[in-house]
Chains A and B, each alone.
Chain A
């Protein structure tokens, strides 16, 4: 939900005079004071502290001991860490790739076709249905799906048996081959509605006459979809992919609640890995290293996205 246009707030008009006349800018700093002090105490200092901890050996009791790059060397050789990052890619597939692609098609379907031919009310009703899982705490969503996937008498297994597919019964969350896919299913279910809502709102910007013109030119639905729809709502596609990628890299609750990273390391994600190093293995220094690595990845991804978007925008403005 973080739009990327910082400049909109700032770049307007002659380098920086206040919107309030008859007053210098100086005293506005007082208004920033409480927010800034809080930010420093709760975010900036802990962040720097955490980076420092990644260079120490610290088990939570005796003071941290500086050990240079040892944790980082260990991190790069740690299979468990790389597995956890591989699983983050799976989370990106489940939370970004699938929802964005399916969401685009669903939004276009609802807006173009169902909204226009079967009534806008009906389209909004479907949209609200798709969005429903988004409002749940993600842990509760995980518990809902986890309940369906229960091994012995879970709904999915019972239904499979009832329709004669008993052979397919499975310990979905407990076996290494399906645990990750089960977590992915939770995330797809949760995430699908978000792009649908955003894209449907964006589609309202599309001028129907453009569509009519394209139709007269003999463009079919898919051609119109690609040439007009996708290009007009591209800013929203950027925002959705950025925010969802960050969210996918941070996944914690479902893994904690359903699998604790297991079986083995089948569903380990960086966020849960660092949590377990902090509070279960008491390897605070190493946990801080994982958390710092995750932060670096998230900041790098955000910068890449923002640069790419600004470039795309500039190209568009030139043409």
Chain B
């Protein structure tokens, strides 16, 4: 996990590199080609549902019924998308999702940094147990918190308010962030901290002027992941955001499935609108995401 702090990994096998370069490219056998075809076919199979959705979101229902799902649209039909867009007031849902995910990711990173500073660098007593506690909080099924939270937020008047969801996910995401950052900060270069301390910087200043800037790459990975995880959440937004104006994108789209007015291509258009934002994140953050996914699993 220390790989997320930007530091060259030691022990890279440099001596073998030149030898490998000299070796000629291995010959491709028939089996190799067969395996390639299999891998490509699997790729096409995985991408196929996306292609179907894109293809059929631009068809009229009549066009769909006469030509079937595989034919190209006979005319460029956007009524399905437009209708759905207006019906759910899509910009509003998009804004709700962006606002909730954005605020959660920033708050959760701040909380994670504060916790990890005490646990990883401060090494307070009983920190192993505290970290286990945070880890557990992240693993729990949300159902086991759902009703008490529902009751509590009703009592304080935050039910059906985006802030209820923001507060809950700030805690859940920062529980994971605390766990991950504590182990990253546990291997923080001690010399840097000592130097800053000798210069007379206090703890608070060391945190914001030294620790946070140096760990920025890890923090940005966390920020992006918190954003996407919160965006994708369903159970808690579904329970807490009951009125239309407060719903997030996944909740709003899911709410209209099976609706009598949703014809076949409008339903397809609804799925398309649901997947576009995440596809955009994927394209923008692809590098960071790949780095982050693997950093989470590799110790």
Question: Which of A's residues lie within 8 Å of B, judged by CB?
Answer: 1-3, 5-10, 12, 16-23, 25, 27-32, 34-36, 38-39, 42-47, 49-50, 53, 106, 109-110, 113-114, 116-118, 126, 128-130, 132-133, 135-140, 143-148, 150, 153, 155, 158-159, 162, 189, 192-194, 197-198, 201-202, 207-209, 235-236, 239-240, 246, 249-250, 252-253, 256-258, 270-271, 274-275, 278-279, 284, 287-288, 290-292, 294-295, 298-299, 302
Q: B152 to A46, Cβ gap below 8 A? A: yes
Q: B46 to A132, Cβ gap below 8 A? A: yes
Given the known interface contacts A117-B28, A155-B69, A249-B141, the answer about A5 and B275 at a Cβ–Cβ threshold of 8 Å is: no
CA gap between A17 and B193 in the complex, in Å: 14
Given the known interface contacts A3-B296, A8-B1, A12-B186, the answer about A53 and B253 at a Cβ–Cβ threshold of 8 Å is: no
Report B-chain residues with C-beta under 8 Å of the C-beta of A9. 119-120, 127, 131, 179, 182-183, 185-186
Interface-side segment among B77-85, B86-94, B163-171, B212-220: B163-171
Report B-chain residues with C-beta under 8 Å of the C-beta of A137. 231-234, 249-250, 274, 278
CB proximity of B134 to chain A, nearest CB, Å = 7
Most buried by A among B36, B168, B249, B254: B254
Report A-chain residues with C-beta under 8 Å of the C-beta of B28. 117-118
Report A-chain residues with C-beta under 8 Å of the C-beta of B197. 20-23
B98 within 8 A of A: no
State which of B131, B133, B137 has its C-beta within 8 Å of the C-beta of A10: B131
Q: B149 to A140, Cβ gap below 8 A? A: no
Report A-chain residues with C-beta under 8 Å of the C-beta of B145. 42-43, 46-47, 50
Q: Is the interface of A mostly helix, strand, loop or mixed?
A: helix
Most buried by B among A19, A50, A249: A19
Q: B127 to A8, Cβ gap below 8 A? A: no
Q: B234 to A139, Cβ gap below 8 A? A: yes
Indicate the size class of the contact surface on chain B: 35 or more
Q: B130 to A32, Cβ gap below 8 A? A: yes
State which of B143, B187, B281, B282 has its C-beta within 8 Å of the C-beta of A294: B143
Given the known interface contacts A147-B271, A295-B140, the answer about A130 and B1 at a Cβ–Cβ threshold of 8 Å is: no
State which of B35, B47, B118, B297 has its C-beta within 8 Å of the C-beta of A114: B35
CA gap between A118 and B271 in the complex, in Å: 35
CA gap between A39 and B293 in the complex, in Å: 25
* CB-based nearest A residue for B239: A279
Q: B297 to A239, Cβ gap below 8 A? A: yes
CA gap between A318 and B142 in the complex, in Å: 40
Question: Which of B's residues lie within 8 Å of A, judged by CB?
Answer: 1, 13, 16, 20, 25-26, 28, 32, 35-36, 38-40, 42-43, 46-47, 49-50, 52-53, 56, 64-65, 68-70, 111-112, 114-115, 117-125, 127-128, 130-150, 152, 167-168, 170-172, 174-176, 178-179, 182-183, 185-188, 190, 193-194, 197, 203, 206-207, 228, 231-235, 238-239, 249-251, 253-254, 257, 264, 267-268, 270-271, 274-275, 278-279, 281-282, 286, 289-290, 293-294, 296-299
CB proximity of B278 to chain A, nearest CB, Å = 5
Report A-chain residues with C-beta under 8 Å of the C-beta of B130. 32
Q: B135 to A6, Cβ gap below 8 A? A: yes
CA gap between A139 and B186 in the complex, in Å: 37
CA gap between A128 and B264 in the complex, in Å: 29
Report A-chain residues with C-beta under 8 Å of the C-beta of B123. 10, 16-19, 25, 28
* CB-based nearest A residue for B13: A207
Q: A153 to B65, Cβ gap below 8 A? A: yes
| New A-B pairs, 10, CB < 8 Å, besides A36-B115, A39-B133, A130-B43 | A2-B138, A6-B132, A106-B39, A147-B53, A162-B68, A198-B294, A201-B293, A235-B299, A250-B142, A278-B150
Report B-chain residues with C-beta under 8 Å of the C-beta of A25. 122-125
Q: A132 to B282, Cβ gap below 8 A? A: yes
Q: A132 to B50, Cβ gap below 8 A? A: yes
Q: A236 to B298, Cβ gap below 8 A? A: yes
Report B-chain residues with C-beta under 8 Å of the C-beta of A148. 49, 52, 69
CA gap between A306 and B171 in the complex, in Å: 24
Given the known interface contacts A20-B193, A159-B70, the answer about A150 and B147 at a Cβ–Cβ threshold of 8 Å is: no
Q: A299 to B147, Cβ gap below 8 A? A: no
Q: B111 to A38, Cβ gap below 8 A? A: yes
Given the known interface contacts A38-B171, A130-B42, A132-B50, the answer about A294 and B144 at a Cβ–Cβ threshold of 8 Å is: yes
